[in-house]
Structures are given as C-alpha cells and as structure tokens.
Structure 1
Amino acid sequence: MKERKKVRFGMDPDSGRLALGSWQIPMPRSRAGRIGIGGTLIIAGTLGFLPILGFWMLPLGILVLSHDLHFVRRRRRQAVVWWQRRRQTRGRDR
C-alpha cells in the first residue's frame, strides 16, 4: 500500500481539514459550507483596516474557495506559477 504524502498547505482530501503548515483547521464537509466560509473570509478581509479583521483573511479565503471552485483554483495556480518564475529570475540576477 502506497503511503500518501501529508498536505502541508491546502485542503487535505482525506481528513477534510485545511492544512497550514503544522496547523490543521477543520472545515465543513458540505460544499456550500466551505464556499460560505471562503466568501466570508474574503469579504471580511477587504475590511482589513478595521481592528479585529485583517488582510490575512483574503489569501485564506481564496485557498478555501479554490478547493471547490475551478476558476478560483486556476487563478490561484497561475499566481503560484508566476511567483515561482519571478523568484527564479530574481535569484539569477543577483
């Protein structure tokens, strides 16, 4: 039996939890619940200038939504690829 690699960042399909490094955040099993949480995080993240809320909610909301919505997943993946290419070219310039 092949052992699966632990997800360090993103949704773990086995446990249904959001993995952020060593932290594990339980997420609802229903698609509507995850979309609701992701949308709420994004909306609250736009109000990041307020004391309790923060801009940290935006990427977390995008990560939660990318598990269920293909167009969000595609845009997130494009951003990751762009960032990696940018880091590689900056590393060569130095």
Structure 2
Amino acid sequence: MRRHHRDALIARLPARGQRMAAWLLAEEHKIPRMAAGSLLVVGGVFSFLPVLGLWMLPLGLLLLAEDIPLLRGLCTRLLVWAAQKRPDLFTLPAKEAPPAPKG
C-alpha cells in the first residue's frame, strides 16, 4: 500500500524528479537516502525560516521510512489519510495525447 501510493506520487514529478527519486530509493543508496531524509526532517522542523518549508517534513519521513521500520506504519497511515483527502494526487497522470493532424 505504501509503495503504491509513493510510486503514484513519484509518477507526478517531472522527469528529473523521477530520476532523482529512483536513484534515492535504490537499495544500494541507503546512506544518501538516510542523509537526505534526515536533512529534510530538520528542514521541516525549521520551516519558520524563509527558505525552508513544512513540505520537507513528510518528504523526509517518507525517505526515512524506507530504512526505519518504526516509521513505516506512520508513513502508511499518512499516505492513506492523504489519499482519502486528495485522491486526485494518487491517480497516475494520463499521458497527453498528441494533437490531431489538421487537414
């Protein structure tokens, strides 16, 4: 369930964001994933500062949940709650059809 929701959110990212997420979520990149997750959580805690934002906190928790079993349940509940509130965020975006030829 958590991975399905996570993958649906990643699919909504631009191509560069999708590549970065795929790289971070690869099994062999545990240390960079833990570092990025920790930095995002710290940035989310200090969201009152002008450059940082509260959006960093859930993103950091999602990254840390990949390696910390204690956070997996929390993140699953968070994703299920978000999917109930905003189901449009968790549907895979449809590919735009090319314009029909004129003539």
Query: For 1:79 and 1:8, how far apart are their aligned partners in 2?
Result: 14
State TM-score, norm by structure 2: 0.57
Name whichever structure is richer in helix by fraction: 2
Q: Look up the match of 1:63.
A: 62
Superposition CA RMSD, Å:
2.7
Name stretches of at least 5 consecutive residues in structure 2 with no aligned partner. 86-103
TM-score w.r.t. the length of structure 1 is: 0.61
4+ residue runs over 3 A deviation? none
Over the matched positions of the two proteins, sequence identity in percent amounts to 31
Relative contact order, higher structure (CA 8 A, sep 6+): 2
Distance 2:11 2:56 in 1: 13
How many residues are treated as equivalent by the alignment? 72
Tell me whether 36-45 or 21-30 shows the greater mean CA deviation. 21-30
- Whichever structure has more strand as a proportion of its residues is 1
